[in-house]
Amino acid sequence: MAWWDLIRRRRPASRVTAVEVAAALAEVIVQNTNTLRARIEVEGFTRMDPVRAGSDECLLECMIFEWFLRDVMASARAEGHAEAVRRALAGRLLVDLLRSGCSVPELDYLDRRQHDRFEEYEQALDISASLQPLGALAWRRISGDGQPSERMTMLLAIRARAELTHSLALE
């Protein structure tokens, strides 16, 4: 289900606000972050580095990666309202992180971290037509390790390709 389907179900006949778009996007980002973390666990990251896998840092990096994928898609769809949606979305995600029990010190730098990661991820997208550079960078951020894992790089690259291809097909 796409984020815009969530909005249509709530208010099919009226114009949607940036806050409503942000709420739908936040819901999808949270669901996809949970799915990504579960997939990483299945791949054995929890056994290899249980401290990192269970950390707020890992949660934040997974969420920012999923947020980036939605931002690429939402920027194309939100037309002139992209900035308002981004601001509202940042607030929604912050609230969701606080509700999940994420420690407050980690959230102090959420805006800066999100901005930095988005710049890094955009540069990785520009490197080649392949999404492997994006997958490798995302994995280094998620794992907190300087060494990319080929298996996890591919997992994240495939994840990004599926999300970005899906969003482009729906436009």
pLDDT in tens, 116-143: 999 999 999 888 888 999 999 999 999 9
Return the amino acid letter for 60: L
Q: What is the rounded CA–CA span in Å between residue 85 and residue 17? A: 8
Prediction pTM value: 0.85
Show the tokens assigned to 80: 């002139």
pLDDT per residue over 59-89, tens digit each? Answer: 999 999 999 999 887 776 656 678 888 888 9
Residues 140, 146: contact at Cβ < 8 Å? yes
- Around Cβ 97, how many Cβ atoms within 10 Å? 21
